[in-house]
Amino acid sequence: MMRIDSPPDFDFTATVASHGWCVLAPLAWDAEAGTLEAPLRLPRGRTTRVRMEQPGGRGAPVVVTAVAGAGSRAGLSDPDGRAVGAAVSRMLRLDQDLSTFHARCRDAGSPFDRAPGAGFGRLLRSATAFEDLAKILATTNTAWSGTKGMVARLVDVAGRDGAFPTAAEVAAIGPERIRSEARWGYRAASLAGIAEAVASGDVDPARWETWEGPSGELEEEIRALPGFGPYAAAHALALLGRFDRIGVDTVFREFVRRRHFPKARKVPPDRRMLAVYEKWGEWRMLAYWFDLWVDYDGRGL
DNA sequence: TTCCAGGGGTAGA
DNA sequence: TCTACCCATGGA
């Protein structure tokens, strides 16, 4: 068991339930118990299944327990413990400073002034950037049920010990099996291409984690990935901590039209819908997502 | 069978 | 930059 300190405004439940990732394989979110289980890769290729929770409530340490696999009996050794700590920190965005965003929310008035109290602003991530990229690709041009199926089957077909496959493991099964067995359809070629590029080192998503340049340059690199257009790139940028772009998809269009253009007879063009959040600058995406979160309150995202 | 989903890619203005 | 148009494929 290990405890990881969290920032005073860190809310485990709000973070885990921040978007759809918590219901995608190989994660297991128990909303009632407030526990998130995930298989994590350790150094030397082993896997451990951990349970995460925040029994002390907001701002309290995150408690991580190994429930199966390596470390479940004797506890996690130092290198393993560091790997688990790094993965948990990445997933829960423990390093993210939300003070500026929350200050903007307080100034903005209702309903945004509820965001700080709700612990809103941390978007759940995967243990690795590659896993996030694969899952984002699985959200493109398909229904959410399709996304869940594609991800689950990919874990089954390419993963080991129940964990999400590494880029090398996805590359190893190749586009044909991604298509026919994991049923990724035409996305299979894109996923295989990304996996090969990451596995070979041609693309290094880890470099994007600490990117300090303009979002535009980072977006350009992400858009160079096969299958990554404006929507997918904006989604990826958000998970990398860049919120100045909004990924326009059917969810965005449906929500903004209903919430902000209820009387419009025609569907407003994207730029008019995007203009709703323009004033939020570098926080546009979080402002939109909170607006949506308020609307979905109690129904889940 | 038809329709569409948390779109991508391209050409042309 | 914006728009029009075509493309893909599994699931409801």
Which pLDDT tens digit goes with each residue over A202-238? Answer: 999 989 999 998 899 999 999 999 999 999 999 999 9
Arithmetic mean of pLDDT, A246-275: 91
Tell me what pLDDT residue A77 has.
84
The first and second tokens of residue A17, run together, are: 């339930």
Nucleotides of C under 7 A from a protein CB: 2-3, 8-12
Q: Please give the protein residue whose CA is closest to the C1' of the nucleotide C3.
A: A269
User: What does the angle CA A71 – CA A72 – CA A77 come to, to the nearest 5 degrees?
Assistant: 20
CA distance A140 to A147: 8
Task: Show residues, CB within 7 A, near nucleic chain C.
Answer: A 141-143, 145-146, 149, 179, 183, 185-186, 269-271
Name the nucleotide nearest A150; use CA and C1': C10
End-to-end CA distance of chain A: 30
What are phi and psi for residue A49, nearest 5 degrees?
-100, 125
Amino acid at A31: A
Report the half-sphere exposure of A250 (CA within 13 A, side-chain side).
6
Q: Give, in Å, how far the C1' of C5 lies from the CA of A94.
A: 44
Name the nucleotide nearest A142; use CA and C1': B5
Q: Give, in Å, how far the C1' of B1 lies from the CA of A75.
A: 57
Q: Is the pLDDT of residue A300 over 70?
A: no
Q: Please give the protein residue whose CA is closest to the C1' of the nucleotide C11.
A: A146
Angle between helices A215-223 and A230-239 (to 10 degrees): 120
Contact between residue A263 and residue A274 where contact means Cβ atoms under 8 Å apart: no
Tell me what pLDDT residue A197 has.
96
Q: What is the pTM of this model?
A: 0.97
The first and second tokens of residue A291, run together, are: 């607006």
Amino acid at A156: D
Arithmetic mean of pLDDT, A264-290: 92
Give the 3-state secondary structure of residue A52. Answer: strand
